A = this chain, B = another copy of it.
Amino acid sequence: MSNLVAVKSGKIKNRKYHTIQDYIRKRIQTGKYPVGSYLPSENEICGQFSTTRTTVRKALDELLKEGFIEKEQGKGSKVLERRKSLGLLTVKGFSGATDHEVKTVVTDGPKVTDWDPIIAFALTEEEKKSNCVYFQRVRYINDRPVVLENNWYANNELPLIDSDAFIAGSFFKTLSQKHLIEVMGAEQELKSIPASKEVAKNLEIQEGSPILHISVRFRTSKPGLNLYGDLYCNTTDYPIRNSYFL
């Protein structure tokens, strides 16, 4: 993300609060402001950037909206663990409870292949021109397979990231911390389907039993880069939960 803004007149404008916002975001992403710690006070940041609290507060307000920090009156701005949860990624028993542990196993890839026609979204022209990186994962709860997940992204937008390099097994964390790329939103399509033979085998359930199929496209802060997902969830034993605010 850049602090330079193209204005309609064709000029390039530097917004001071963008500069501050980008600086702090980068330090959070790279761990220089660790999770749980407090940012320097608004007045300290004023000093660092020779500006006023109004401008600093505008920058912090944006980071608040982006989900990087929370503010506590009288105390300061605290760095949050992760961005606001996106998508239907919360499996019941996972959020809050620590007695259930989610393990992720990469079962295929990452490797360069052609796009899979199963993807439920229309690819952009740029994406069609490129081939893609594919990998498959299975999520386990209590040592039982619950979600089978296929993922793709355009090979020309991002280098192949080896699964060994996944930070704490998370592709999104790797994107944020190593590439400073954030997920900005998602579109999803949900269908209830009978389990195919292959899905049934992977999730250790009976063929034909009802499965929740989710097709996702994640939009990122890197223009042109989308992440596509194709998920098969055993919701009979582990319902999917999510919540919305505001």
Q: Mark A177-220, 1 if CB is under 8 A from B, else 0.
A: 00000001111111111100000000000000011100000000
Q: Is the CB of A186 within 8 A of B66?
A: no
Within A230-246, the residues touching B (CB, 8 Å) are 233, 235-236, 239-246
- Is the beta-carbon distance between A189 and B246 smaller than 8 angstroms? no
Q: Is A87 an interface residue (CB 8 A)?
A: yes
CA gap between A235 and B120 in the complex, in Å: 14
Contact A245 B184 (CB under 8 A): yes
Judge whether B212 and A194 touch: CB under 8 Å: no
CA distance A189 to B212 in the complex (A): 12
Contact call A185/B65, Cβ cutoff below 8 A: no
* Interface residue from B86, B184, B191, B239 paired with A235 (Cβ < 8 Å): B191
A191 contacts B86, CB within 8 Å? no
Is B189 a contact partner of A240 (Cβ separation < 8 A)?
yes
B190 touching A239, Cβ below 8 Å: yes
Which of A194, A210, A233, A235 gathers the greatest number of chain B CB atoms within 10 Å? A210
Which of A192, A194, A242 has the most chain B CB atoms inside 10 A of its CB?
A192
* A92, CB-defined interface residue at 8 Å: yes
The answer to whether A190 and B243 have CB atoms under 8 Å apart is: no
Decide: B192 and A193 in contact? CB cutoff 8 A. Answer: yes
Partner of A192, one of B84, B88, B192: B192
A239 near B88 (CB under 8 angstroms)? no
Q: Which residues of B contact A189 (CB under 8 A)?
A: 92, 239-241
Known contacts A192-B212, A210-B210, A212-B192; A187/B236 CB under 8 A: no
Chain B's closest residue to A215 (CB) is B239
- Contact surface of A with B, Cβ cutoff 8 Å: 65-67, 84, 86-88, 92, 184-194, 210-212, 233, 235-236, 239-246
Beyond the given A84-B246, A86-B244, A87-B244, please list 10 additional residue pairs across the A-B interface where CB-CB is below 8 A. A66-B246, A187-B241, A188-B241, A189-B239, A189-B241, A190-B242, A191-B240, A192-B211, A192-B212, A192-B235
21 contacts between A and B (CB under 8 A): A65-B246, A66-B246, A184-B245, A185-B245, A186-B243, A186-B244, A187-B241, A187-B243, A188-B241, A188-B242, A189-B239, A189-B241, A190-B235, A190-B241, A191-B239, A191-B240, A192-B233, A192-B236, A193-B210, A194-B210, A212-B212
